[in-house]
Amino acid sequence: MSSTPARAKNDRSPTEMKTAYSEAPVTESTQSSVPQQVQATPAQPKMRASNVNFHYGTFKALHDVSLEFPANKVTALIGPSGCGKSTFLRSLNRINETLRGTRIEGDIRLDGEDVLKMDVTSLRRRVGMVFQRPNPFPKSIFENVAYGVRVNGLASRSELPDIVEKSLRRAALWDEVRDKLHDSAHALSGGQQQRLCIARGLAVDPEVLLLDEPCSALDPIATAKIEDLLVAIKDQCTIVIVTHNMQQAARVADNTGFFLLGRLIEHDRTDVIFKNPSKKETEDYITGRFG
């Protein structure tokens, strides 16, 4: 398994990647981690989960899940409903511990730091999350995006307009809302609301962005916009996306992990998972035999 990321990295030349990224509506530095992508030895993953077990009361939802998330890659988590993929995702920013009666065992690392021992607010500042249904705050569009910056005290009041504009541009929403920044976020369409939630998450410059079935409440056009934007922002953050939609995984993800009944059955490069899975369960799921 450990050689897989290396193979993936050799697939594309750095120049190809740069061209791909230059089309993104983003002007900041894109050089950050591209060079290490071509090294033969695998770089340290951005996040690494080892032997994670998760309990909701007496129900054990995750069994010894170990998975690595390489930097600046999109990792998709797929599997049937109730397989634990969302639980696993929600363990990565410890949002699940806000539910009563939950317990987690194992080890999760962010750049080598122990996630389970970190200050939870700084963890969540670094590991952002977008939810299944758009959940904008009942505030203006501007205030929604500025919220994370404000609560973390990341910038002064005078810097906020720039940060809000930059974040909305990164989420490909700026042109649609630039004239109504102070209108209620609830006046936006579902797809716009979800991109607003992505902008809200990007405003605090997260290193990792977790997305929990972000397109399940959206139509295909809104879905395509979000998929485009994920590919465009992955040079600035590592992305983990839970999806029910296997085509979506195939379109956006570099790597894919398949969950079943609380276990990670296998994980590999996305094309390998879809074309040549090594486990029977994966093949059955991919080919639509169940789930």
Partner 1 sequence: MTARNIYRKSLNNLMLTLTGVCALVTVLVLFIILAYLVYNGATSVDPAFFTQLPKGTGEVGGGMANAILGSAEIVAIASAIGIPIGFFTGVYLSEWGGAAFSFVVRYMCDLLNGVPSIVIGIFAWIIIVRPMHQFSALAGGFALSLMLIPITAKSTEQFLVDIPRALREGSLALGATKWRTVASVVVPAARKGIMTGVILGVARVSGESAPLLFTSLNNQYWSTGLTEPTASLPVMIYSHAISPYDDWHRQAWAAGLVLLVLVLIANIAARLILTRGSSPARG
Q: Which residues bind partner 1 (CB under 8 A)?
A: 93, 95, 98, 100, 121-125, 128-129, 131, 133, 135-139, 147-148, 151-152, 184, 186-190, 197, 200-201, 204, 217
Q: Provide, rounded to whole angstroms, the least separation between the CB of residue 99 and partner 1.
A: 9
- Residue 11's SS3 state is helix
Q: Which is nearer to partner 1, 66 or 137 (CB)?
A: 137
What Cα–Cα distance (Å) separates residue 49 from each residue in 67, 91, 114?
Answer: 5, 10, 10
Q: Provide, rounded to whole angstroms, the least separation between the CB of residue 88 and partner 1.
A: 16
Query: What does the DSSP assignment read for 69-131?
Result: E-TT-EEEEE-STTSSHHHHHHHHTTGGGGSTTEEEEEEEEETTEEGGGS-HHHHHHHEEEE-
Q: Which is nearer to partner 1, 182 or 275 (CB)?
A: 182
Element containing residue 212 per DSSP (H, E): strand 208-212
Q: Which is nearer to partner 1, 145 or 249 (CB)?
A: 145
Q: Provide, rounded to whole angstroms, the least separation between the CB of residue 130 and partner 1.
A: 8
Nearest to 238 by CA among 108, 127, 156: 127
Q: Which is nearer to partner 1, 35 or 138 (CB)?
A: 138
Q: Which is nearer to partner 1, 17 or 171 (CB)?
A: 171
- Residue 179's SS3 state is coil
Determine the straight-line distance between the first and last CA of the chain, rounded to whole angstroms: 25
Q: Provide, rounded to whole angstroms, the least separation between the CB of residue 131 and partner 1.
A: 6
Q: Provide, rounded to whole angstroms, the least separation between the CB of residue 85 and partner 1.
A: 17
Q: Provide, rounded to whole angstroms, the least separation between the CB of residue 155 and partner 1.
A: 14
Burial class of residue 216, CB neighbours in 10 A (0-12, 13-18, 19+): middle
